[in-house]
Amino acid sequence: MKRVFITGADRGIGFALCRCFLENGWQVFAGRFMKEWNELETLKKEYGQRLSMINLDVGSQESVSQAASEVERQTDYIDMLVNCAGIFRNGSSETTVNCLNINTVGPIRMVEAFLPLMKQGEKRLCFFSSEAASITLAHRKGDVSYCVSKTCLNMAVRLMFERLKPQGYKFRLYHPGWVRTYMSGQKSTVGNFEPEETAAVAYEQFISDRDWEDVLILSDVSNEIWPF
């Protein structure tokens, strides 16, 4: 049975991805940030031991380390790490720091903590980015905190790619589109996609092999490629 760890699994795209992987027979380790949010409990009732809920705050090194230790206690390896957790904030320098901590440093923490668990698996690292991260196609006049954090994520992933590709790791960098999700704290009423729609595309891109794994691309919900 293949095994995946998903951050930001409480709701939105992360939760929808949990369902996709479970429906297709995977063992899912779900990074859970909000204990009071009970949607994961409904999946647990349906899928039993194939879903493990792991307390996780990607903004905390201690929490990430504890999550990795808990997963190691339950399994010898994982095949895939999906970095889905993210926030949308904008305005002051403080909000920029918060966005960088969650959207950029969070995935870095996760990769560093979980690499020892991935040596025996399929070695696939997946990251949620955005068109907002593209310097070449930058068009927004605001959203500085979010855009900067995602652009920094892209560079971090590029550097990971150069370092880990020779060791057999494969990378997926995904732009989910404009999704009616919870990144600002409440579910958005505007957007082009529901979380379940973009999660279904993400799942297929994450699990599918490519003939050109030696090239890092940013692909989107329409299977188009973005410059970054």
Q: What is the pLDDT of residues 79-123, one digit of tens each?
A: 999 999 999 877 678 889 999 999 999 999 999 999 999 999 999
Residues with Cβ within 8 Å of residue 42, at least 6 apart in sequence: none
CATH code for the domain of 82: 3.40.50.720
pLDDT surpassing 60 at residue 184: no
Tens of pLDDT, residues 57-78: 999 999 999 999 999 999 999 9
Domain hosting residue 126, numbered range: 3-226
- Helix 195-207 vs helix 12-23: angle between axes, to the nearest 10 degrees? 50
pLDDT of residue 132: 76
**What is the number of structural domains in the chain?**
1
pLDDT surpassing 70 at residue 142: no
Average pLDDT of the chain, as a whole number = 92
Say what the pTM is: 0.94
121: phi > 0 → left, psi -120 to 50 → alpha, else beta; which? beta
pLDDT of residue 83: 98
Tens of pLDDT, residues 186-215: 676 766 679 999 999 999 999 999 999 999
pLDDT of residue 37: 86
